[in-house]
């Protein structure tokens, strides 16, 4: 009997320690929102999958987080049109010359990769660690587009940034 308890006790201690450390690190998700003028997030949230279990896509979890944090936005689970009162539509166009403009809008990346899907088309899985929304741009020069979702804060357009 003492032999069984001696073997059982170290196993129990390892199990308890593992359960204290693992769930926090394996279920954490970080979501950031970065505006047009600085790489410092306007909102950064660390959350758990359990707190957002009803979300099945990037779009759904984004809306849940924005609502929970009482952050006004214009958009849907398909994507963000405006957040933190950023311009959209024609107001988000930056005319640089007769032949060059930048079109700005909200982009997202997942674990450092920009998916080629709308936010509602990207299914969530518990291996994801970071969703980063950022105000980005593409450049049009002589009716040809260059770049895709380049962070706007890198150029900090004067019409958006004081």
What fold is seen in the domain 27-154? Ferric Hydroxamate Uptake Protein; Chain A, domain 1 (2.170.130)
Q: Does pLDDT of 21 surpass 60?
A: no
When mean pLDDT is compared across 23-27, 102-106, 142-146, the lowest value belongs to 23-27
Per residue in 45-96, pLDDT tens? 999 888 888 888 999 999 999 999 999 999 999 999 999 999 999 999 999 9
Per residue in 22-48, pLDDT tens? 344 457 899 999 999 999 999 999 998
Q: List the domain boundaries for the chain.
A: 27-154
pTM beyond 0.85: no
- Separation of alpha carbons 10 and 22, rounded Å: 18
User: pLDDT class for 11, splitting at 50, 70, 90?
Assistant: very low
């Amino acid at each position: 009997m003492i032999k069984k308890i001696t073997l059982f006790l170290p196993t129990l201690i390892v199990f308890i320690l593992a359960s204290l450390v693992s769930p926090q690190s394996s279920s954490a998700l970080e979501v950031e929102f970065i505006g047009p003028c600085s790489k410092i997030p306007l909102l950064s949230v660390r959350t758990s999958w359990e707190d957002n279990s009803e979300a099945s896509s990037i779009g759904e979890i984004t809306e849940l987080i924005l609502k929970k944090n009482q952050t006004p936005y214009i958009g849907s689970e398909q994507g963000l049109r405006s957040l933190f009162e950023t311009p959209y539509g024609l107001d988000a166009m930056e005319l640089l010359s007769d032949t060059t403009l930048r079109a700005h809008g909200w982009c997202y990346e997942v674990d450092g990769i920009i998916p080629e899907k709308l936010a509602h088309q990207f299914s969530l899985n518990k291996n994801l660690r970071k969703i980063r929304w950022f105000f980005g741009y593409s450049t049009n020069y002589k009716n040809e587009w260059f770049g895709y979702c380049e962070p706007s804060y890198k150029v900090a357009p004067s019409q958006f940034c004081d």
